[in-house]
Structure 1
Amino acid sequence: MTSTLLSAIPRELDVGTRRSAAIAQFISTARQLIGDPSQASREDLEAVARHLETLGRQATLFPEEDFPVDQEHPAVVYRLSEEADGGFALYLSAALPGKSVLPHDHTTWAIISGVQGVERNVFYRRDKTADPARDALTPERTVDVGLGNSVILGPDDVHTIELQGHQTGLHLHFYGRGLDHMPARVVFESRAGGSYRTFGPPAGIRHARITPQDLKAALADGQEIALLDVRDAGVYARSHLLFAVSAPRWRLPLDIDRLVPRRNTRIVVIDGDESQAHDGAHQLIRLGWTNVSVLAGGTEAWAAAGLEVFSGTNVPSKAFGEVIEHEKQTPWITSEELERLVRQGDNIAVVDSRTPEEFAAFSLPFAHSVPGAELVYRIAEIAPDPETLVVVNCAGRTRSIVGAQTLIDAGIPNRVVSLRNGTMDWLLTGRTLAHGRQTPLPEPSAGHLAGARAQADAVAHRAGVRRIDAATLQRWQESARQQQRTLYLFDIRTRAEYEAGHLEGWRWAPGGQLVQATDEYAATRGARIVLADWDGVRALTTGAWLAQLGWDVSVHAPATHGPGAARVTGPEPVRVLVPDSPAPLIAPAQAAALQQSGAAVLIDIDSRAAYEKRHPAGARFVAPGRLSEFIPTLPAQASVVLISADGILAHSVASGLLRSAKPAQPLLALRGGTRGWIAAELPTDSGGDGVVTGDDDQSYSPYLQKDLALRNAGFVEYLEWELGLVAQLEREGHTGIALID
């Protein structure tokens, strides 16, 4: 690293982003100079030390408030960077004056350089004594490390550290292996030597912290930012920040590449009380994300600071629906009125704007399945008579409101209303639903398609949605590859259309769901979103709503012929990152035999709802975030077999647990998961008797309640929650929502 490179980092960026860029430059330089960290020469280390000194001189990148120490925690080690295998690990050691560490070694090379304060390093010669359990130490030299200088240690060097003066110390420690990859290092009982023992890494290695007040300001500074809540999804749903995305720590290897595709995105990791966030931050760093900090005190501290805390899921989108109805006065009708109109045989068309899968689970007996993004595209086929009343419904409120307002904003000639409170109200008022229905999506005629295009174009134009050409898209893709700006590429057509042929690298996100659950697809606030515009209607309709939600949205019409028209078929590929050595797999038949003999315990970790429908007989269900407390309660001699739907999540989680928790029991993953078990025709069961962790794994809909009184109470609570979101948004302040006239 050179000072020239450091000065090239834009000063207008926040300090965390500038710090991560400087650290990334340093690590890149160190990697080039050293190559294999196990083969580093003294000459290589001396060259790297000069660069570490340069990094340390940028003291403004390491403010004390980001790396706090106090009387309760007088010395804290903060992780700045670490590769997945533990190599090239960089830490900031922060300590109050007077910090002193007994003589110890590292079993790898180390370089220490100063940022603030003076750290005195005393080096010792280590000699054997007549007692094989005791060695003698003799001080040989002393090096005071402060701003602008450094010291290099070899794997066998023994030294002590003592902070001099009255200033809080901040020192960069760079190692060939991470602190939790040094199992054989020793510490002596005194400066004279004596007995010695191996010791582990510092308890609770932390990561740079950001206060609630600073995070609140960061959310409004215009730079990209992703808030990731790493608790299990059900725990997250009980209390979280408005723009925090549910990203359970154990799912990060499966989800993070799609949620936050740019590796240097500014990420703030959040939990309830800062007890889990640092483990989540460590996981992200090992996976390759570099600009990671932790919300100090978690959601509890955010609330204590007087800032707004939300419950529920997909809150930004659901709150958006409430804002639409509140500001635009979206018209609605009640269940009673709808039933009366249907019974009278009035000219009416009811369209359900949920997904086809949700529609098949339950629907109004007379409704058509038309997902939200399809409404403008297909409504003229369902209600060609302008005198037909169009009623839009969903399971609750959001997609009813958004769907109805979509048609109203598009200017269709029909009168349009939403069904107030959706099928929840239909059931609350004593009516029944149909199950297992499917209705075909009609293809628009040429005349109707032309009209729909004009309607969608007008709305998108008013919302500020741009059309971009292939050259612009290529520039933006290159910017994303260069880690300069996040770019999400979404194809919002139906599943069948997407799988029949889509552009390579474009994700499938059915338009209605992209608006309804934006946080499940895009975690980076301030990123670009580009939608593939295949028909001139659906992408524009979806883009208009996303733009009003505060996103930077454009549409791109794919080429119809030539090199740029190449298509990829099949479902969206999902890349699973593999930071840990793979856990052993076990075939279903072997697992069943072990279980039958009492030598194995089966634990499903995927979805409680799916578990209750069908699971391997005798299995229990545990939310992944609770495994580390549940597994130690099991017999030490029994193998623990983790299960998920297809085995992928279970294998990833088992691999991570073997590295981090190191359970006493043998830990395996079921090959092929529940599907493999069923395919092997092994016994299954249903029901919730084996559920250990309640609804920690995800937030569950009242529709799943079998007790009608509990279901109806859940409906009422949910509807009151949705109605209260407008007031919560007013207290939240800046949300980015801006509705068109």
Structure 2
Amino acid sequence: MSLTELPVEAAGNDIASARARAIDAFLAQARGLLRRGTTHDALQAVADALIRLGQRHALFPAAHFPVDAQRPAQVYRLAEDADGGFALYLSAGLAGKAQPPHDHSTWAVIAGVEGNERNVVYRRRKTADPARDALEHQRTVDVAAGSAVVLSPTDVHTIELVDGHDGRHLHFYGRALELLDRRVVFEGTEGGSYRHFAPPKNIRHPAITPQALKAALSDGEEIALLDVRETGVFVRSHILLAASAPSWRLEIQIDRLVPRRSTRIVLADADESLAHQAAAKLVRLGWRNVSVLSGGTEGWAAAGYELFSGSNVPSKAFGEVIEHRKHTPWISVDELHQRVERGDDIVVVDSRTPEEFADFSLPFAHSLPGAELVYRIQELAPRPETLVVVNCAGRTRSIVGAQTLIDAGIPNPVVSLKDGTMAWLLADRKLARGRAAPLPEPGERTRQDARARAEDVAARAGVRRIDAATFALLEAESEERSLYRFDVRTRQEYEAGHLEGWRWAPGGQLVQATDEYVGTRRARIVLVDWDGVRALTTGAWLAQLGGHEVFVLSPAALPVLVLGPEAVRVLPLRAPAPVIAPRETAAALEAGTVLVFDVERRAAYERQHVAGARFAVPDRLQEFIADVPASQLIVLTSSDGVLARVVAAELGARTGREVRALAGGTQAWVAARLPTGHGADNVLTGDDDHWYSPYAHADLARRDAGFRQYLDWEIGLVAQLEREGDVGIRLVEPAGSS
């Protein structure tokens, strides 16, 4: 018996995934049956297959496809080809739901799940009046569980849910509903006048209640909970285990965030106003196991569940839990200042990225990103008496970095800098800017020592080392279990040569911002390791964070298969938007015949943008161009033009007007030495695009107030996490503990 034939009960709690597997099996069978054409016999065979799918009524529970008095009839999208080919829907309705005579302009097969849908089929006949056609009754077919009706492109039919019961029926079409814009509806069953009617505007997707989602997040099965609002909106209030995946950026992000196409995905927004459009996009791109959270986060809160603010919250809460449970020692900025001034034997290491370090740092700190700490610390603090202080911009990476060294058992005393550089600035001290700090290269003896420490802590955390053969097995199973592959070395090492298909995720950031890299809970994560330290150190923290299975692969050698930065694949959903050259755009701006919108990130826009451009997040562009005359061209730009082309294609499809993308984006504009601006003028959507760091405030009072608010928020995460319940955090004891 194949997996798709298993009874629902054998599929565990995850009905959505069982349904997706069954639908995939049906579609594969239908494609085979229709490969040579849509003959009557072929369509009848498809109908037989659809009947069998509908008879598995437990896969299509009423709770997943709700209707009520406010919405007595509803169409739910189950599958659609990206090109608008085969499309499968579930039509749900309250008893008595009826539709007047209409056609489909494509073949259709309807099979029952629950209830009796009476189909009266007519043949359309021309009359002497070109505005009126006659309808001749052909047959009446009652479609219930175990039966189906096949309709040709020219058939006209009425439908009615009879016998006093609500209904759910599967509708399989040769063309997506939203592309069927030439259908006709008649005034009555005798025919008469007719009109074309538009495709349905409100196709929805299977629902999941807050209660069911809460259970699903802890049922042990894979799940990806994605919030499709812009990241800055998401940051204000979201579900803890949700990852930010803005709807208008899915074509660029989804392939890396949720690589397995059959992953159970739940989409959330505030109130379902955005999630169904995002779900349609994912379904067409090939992710068909997609549900939408009923009522969005507002419904989640109404059900009594916790909402969180902030970015990378699971990782930041993890840092607070570490300090709370392990009592990670710390030093205040005042004491640190005194000890540095006194010339004490002390080394301060900044565990942020090199780019963040260059932006600002403590004047005496060394750059040593989180995953590099165990690997390189002995080069900076070879004497066991030296006090090691780990700092970051706030709290998390200071705590995690200090505890990393403590858990690994380095001989030095180790502390975190309490509240990081925020506290340093709040104490009215200065930071250094623009410092470049090459990482110290460990010698062989220190490398061996670091390797032994990393092996020990990783083993205690449950990280498994695997060889090439075991990794090949994981790859072979990647259609059934999500597999993420990360190279955690420095950017320079990665770009100098990495394994094909492996993403770059510096280890400290992978722990600090796991939700930005891994969208699927209960996935398999494989880290690659040639030095025997950094992948193990990173893996140990990921394993303790919980929610994933973590492995480390150590290839025998480093074959230089791919050079350069990580490749990003853009998934095509619509025909590419037309582009316009920078100089042509500049001339149009001067003539006043074009409006330019930057859609990438507010922070980048404020640093430098096309002179005369405005900034807006993509999902609000429609409101800003609603009153723009059709004679005025809309041009979108982004950093390199990639996102702008994606958004321009979507915006053009939604509005019906021509929208172009700036060729090469803002980078090409700057390279052409065309006028640029800077600052926040013409930022139309505030902080909707991204979390706005207190460090960005020019006003020092606002900055300091932001620091205090942020630090209070971080400290408060422990109590909030206790209200949320167990999320899988499992901490190990430090080296040498009994």
Amino acid across the alignment from 1:597: A
Q: Which moved more, 1:608-617 or 1:26-35?
A: 26-35
C-alpha displacement at 1:566, in angstroms?
Answer: 5.2
1:553 to 534, 547, 550: 550
- 1:630 and 2:599 equivalent? no
C-alpha displacement at 1:278, in angstroms?
Answer: 0.7
TM-score (norm 2): 0.97
The residue number in structure 2 matching 1:7 is 6
The residue number in structure 2 matching 1:507 is 503
Query: 2: CA distance between counterparts of 1:696 and 1:437?
Result: 31
Q: RMSD of aligned C-alpha atoms?
A: 1.3
C-alpha displacement at 1:4, in angstroms?
Answer: 8.7
C-alpha displacement at 1:140, in angstroms?
Answer: 2.6
C-alpha displacement at 1:50, in angstroms?
Answer: 0.7
The residue number in structure 2 matching 1:619 is 613
> In structure 2, the residue corresponding to 1:412 is in which secondary structure?
coil
Q: Which moved more, 1:624-633 or 1:365-374?
A: 624-633
- 1:575 and 2:569 equivalent? yes
The residue number in structure 1 matching 2:736 is none
1:166 to 164, 167, 170: 164
The residue number in structure 1 matching 2:524 is 528
The within-5 A match list for 1:271-282 is: 271-282=269-280
Q: Contact 1:227–1:243 at 8 Å: present in 2 too?
A: yes
C-alpha displacement at 1:592, in angstroms?
Answer: 1.4
1:516 to 509, 512, 515: 512
The residue number in structure 2 matching 1:21 is 21
Q: Contact 1:373–1:538 at 8 Å: present in 2 too?
A: yes
The within-5 A match list for 1:445-484 is: 445-480=443-478, 483-484=479-480
Q: Which moved more, 1:83-92 or 1:182-191?
A: 182-191
Amino acid across the alignment from 1:23: I
The residue number in structure 2 matching 1:685 is 677
Q: Contact 2:351–2:369 at 8 Å: present in 1 too?
A: yes
Query: 1: CA distance between counterparts of 2:462 and 2:454?
Result: 12
Query: 1: CA distance between counterparts of 2:45 and 2:655?
Result: 37
Query: 2: CA distance between counterparts of 1:198 and 1:337?
Result: 78
> In structure 1, the residue corresponding to 2:648 is in which secondary structure?
helix
The residue number in structure 1 matching 2:494 is 498
The within-5 A match list for 1:725-736 is: 725-736=717-728
C-alpha displacement at 1:703, in angstroms?
Answer: 0.5
Query: 1: CA distance between counterparts of 2:11 and 2:724?
Result: 29
C-alpha displacement at 1:112, in angstroms?
Answer: 0.4
Q: Which moved more, 1:432-441 or 1:565-574?
A: 565-574
Q: Contact 2:4–2:21 at 8 Å: present in 1 too?
A: no
The residue number in structure 2 matching 1:590 is 584
C-alpha displacement at 1:390, in angstroms?
Answer: 0.7
Amino acid across the alignment from 1:343: E
> In structure 1, the residue corresponding to 2:291 is in which secondary structure?
strand
C-alpha displacement at 1:136, in angstroms?
Answer: 2.4
C-alpha displacement at 1:6, in angstroms?
Answer: 1.9
Query: 2: CA distance between counterparts of 1:58 and 1:729?
Result: 39
Query: 1: CA distance between counterparts of 2:656 and 2:240?
Result: 36
Q: Contact 1:333–1:419 at 8 Å: present in 2 too?
A: yes
The within-5 A match list for 1:80-91 is: 80-91=78-89
Query: 2: CA distance between counterparts of 1:434 and 1:175?
Result: 64
The within-5 A match list for 1:7-406 is: 7=6, 10-12=10-12, 14-35=14-35, 39-406=37-404
Amino acid across the alignment from 2:189: R
The within-5 A match list for 1:624-663 is: 624-659=618-653, 661-663=654-656
> In structure 2, the residue corresponding to 1:156 is in which secondary structure?
coil
Amino acid across the alignment from 1:670: L
Q: Contact 1:322–1:726 at 8 Å: present in 2 too?
A: yes
> In structure 1, the residue corresponding to 2:589 is in which secondary structure?
helix
Q: Contact 2:622–2:655 at 8 Å: present in 1 too?
A: no
Deviations 1:614-672 (A, max 9, x none): 1011000010111122221322211100111000001011112223x1343x2111110
Query: 2: CA distance between counterparts of 1:237 and 1:634?
Result: 31
Query: 1: CA distance between counterparts of 2:656 and 2:635?
Result: 12
Between the two proteins, the alignment pairs up a number of residues equal to: 731
Amino acid across the alignment from 2:11: R
Q: Contact 2:530–2:557 at 8 Å: present in 1 too?
A: no
Deviations 1:242-268 (A, max 9, x none): 110000011111011111110000000
> In structure 2, the residue corresponding to 1:525 is in which secondary structure?
coil
- 1:713 and 2:705 equivalent? yes
Deviations 1:476-521 (A, max 9, x none): 01111xx111111111000000111111111100000000000111
Amino acid across the alignment from 2:120: V
Amino acid across the alignment from 2:251: P
Query: 2: CA distance between counterparts of 1:283 and 1:8?
Result: 30
The residue number in structure 1 matching 2:666 is 674
Amino acid across the alignment from 2:368: V
Amino acid across the alignment from 2:618: P
Query: 2: CA distance between counterparts of 1:601 and 1:657?
Result: 14
C-alpha displacement at 1:153, in angstroms?
Answer: 0.8
Q: Contact 1:632–1:663 at 8 Å: present in 2 too?
A: no
TM-score (norm 1): 0.97
Deviations 1:419-472 (A, max 9, x none): 100001111111111100011111111111111111111111111111111110
Query: 2: CA distance between counterparts of 1:359 and 1:5?
Result: 52
Query: 2: CA distance between counterparts of 1:119 and 1:662?
Result: 36
Query: 2: CA distance between counterparts of 1:360 and 1:614?
Result: 19
Q: Which moved more, 1:360-369 or 1:41-50?
A: 41-50
> In structure 2, the residue corresponding to 1:196 is in which secondary structure?
strand
Q: Which moved more, 1:500-509 or 1:515-524?
A: 500-509
C-alpha displacement at 1:567, in angstroms?
Answer: 2.9
Amino acid across the alignment from 1:504: E
Q: Contact 1:548–1:737 at 8 Å: present in 2 too?
A: yes
Identity %: 63
> In structure 2, the residue corresponding to 1:633 is in which secondary structure?
coil
Which 5+ residue runs of structure 2 have no aligned equivalent?
734-738
Amino acid across the alignment from 2:550: V
> In structure 2, the residue corresponding to 1:524 is in which secondary structure?
coil
Q: Contact 2:123–2:154 at 8 Å: present in 1 too?
A: no
Which 5+ residue runs of structure 1 have no aligned equivalent?
none
C-alpha displacement at 1:585, in angstroms?
Answer: 1.0
> In structure 1, the residue corresponding to 2:133 is in which secondary structure?
strand
> In structure 1, the residue corresponding to 2:477 is in which secondary structure?
helix
Query: 1: CA distance between counterparts of 2:189 and 2:321?
Result: 67
Query: 1: CA distance between counterparts of 2:231 and 2:618?
Result: 10
Q: Contact 2:13–2:219 at 8 Å: present in 1 too?
A: no
Amino acid across the alignment from 1:216: K
Amino acid across the alignment from 2:395: R
Q: Contact 1:631–1:663 at 8 Å: present in 2 too?
A: no
Query: 2: CA distance between counterparts of 1:203 and 1:652?
Result: 22
Query: 2: CA distance between counterparts of 1:179 and 1:678?
Result: 44
Query: 2: CA distance between counterparts of 1:134 and 1:201?
Result: 22
C-alpha displacement at 1:8, in angstroms?
Answer: 8.0
Query: 1: CA distance between counterparts of 2:726 and 2:624?
Result: 41
> In structure 1, the residue corresponding to 2:410 is in which secondary structure?
coil
Q: Contact 2:64–2:206 at 8 Å: present in 1 too?
A: yes
C-alpha displacement at 1:46, in angstroms?
Answer: 1.1
Q: Contact 2:243–2:515 at 8 Å: present in 1 too?
A: yes
Amino acid across the alignment from 1:598: G
C-alpha displacement at 1:5, in angstroms?
Answer: 4.8
Q: 1:123 to 1:515 in 2, by over 3 A?
A: same
C-alpha displacement at 1:135, in angstroms?
Answer: 2.0
Query: 1: CA distance between counterparts of 2:258 and 2:402?
Result: 32
Amino acid across the alignment from 1:464: G
Query: 2: CA distance between counterparts of 1:194 and 1:396?
Result: 73
C-alpha displacement at 1:13, in angstroms?
Answer: 5.2
> In structure 2, the residue corresponding to 1:242 is in which secondary structure?
coil
